[in-house]
Amino acid sequence: MREIVQTGDPVLRQVARTMSVEEIRSPETQQLIAEMRETMRAAPGVGLAAPQIGESLQLAVIEDRADYLDGVAPEHLAARQRAPVDFHVIINPKLTLLGEATAEFFEGCLSVEGFGAVVPRSLSVRVECLNERADPITITAHGWYARILQHEIDHLNGTLYIDRMYTRSFTTVENAERFASS
């Protein structure tokens, strides 16, 4: 497992460098991907970008496990268009927002530990990238999955959700849960 760096660390504000096919296929990168997967799951989180563990690389892992959705009210899942997403890797991604539709939901980050805020995001995106084998792939995503992709790709470009949030919604996670029904 790797340590997750927190806001204020300069690596989180840099545009990460792209990776070559040879570098992606290297044993070192494959080990890094395994460590990122373990770190993301232990946090727990639904995504982790390499800069969040101090590596300025255009690399992120994503997984929204079914057990994360256990006990979540069906209307909450429906409102967010949230469903399980299998583990996968995105490398050197190019993000395209599809359409004008957006959604505003509370969002947190493993690198801004203990806080969250309402963040507007596009409801639909397309991501062209390489996978962990350096194969080109295209992902079309909607709802919560689209939000996760946008959040992680922001990390690769030196942007945190706090740059996009509605500032008056910024709160501790504890208070967000405490006053959610207020």
Local structure of residue 17 (DSSP, 8 states): B
Cα angle for residues 31, 51, 41 (degrees, 5° grid): 55
State whether residue 102 is helix, strand or coil. strand
Residue partners of 173: CB distance under 8 A and separation at least 6: 108, 114, 115, 116
Residue partners of 28: CB distance under 8 A and separation at least 6: none
What DSSP element (H or E) covers 5? none
**How many residues are recorded in the chain?**
182
Residue 152 known to be catalytic: yes
Residue 54 CA neighbour count, 13 Å, CB half:
7
The two tokens of residue 136 are 């080109």
In degrees and rounded to multiples of 5, residue 94 shows phi and psi of -120, 120
Residue among 63, 107, 132, 152 flagged as catalytic: 152
Residue with tokens 């596009």: 122
- In 3-state terms the chain splits into helix, strand, coil percentages (rounded to 5) of 35, 30, 35
Report the catalytic residues: 152
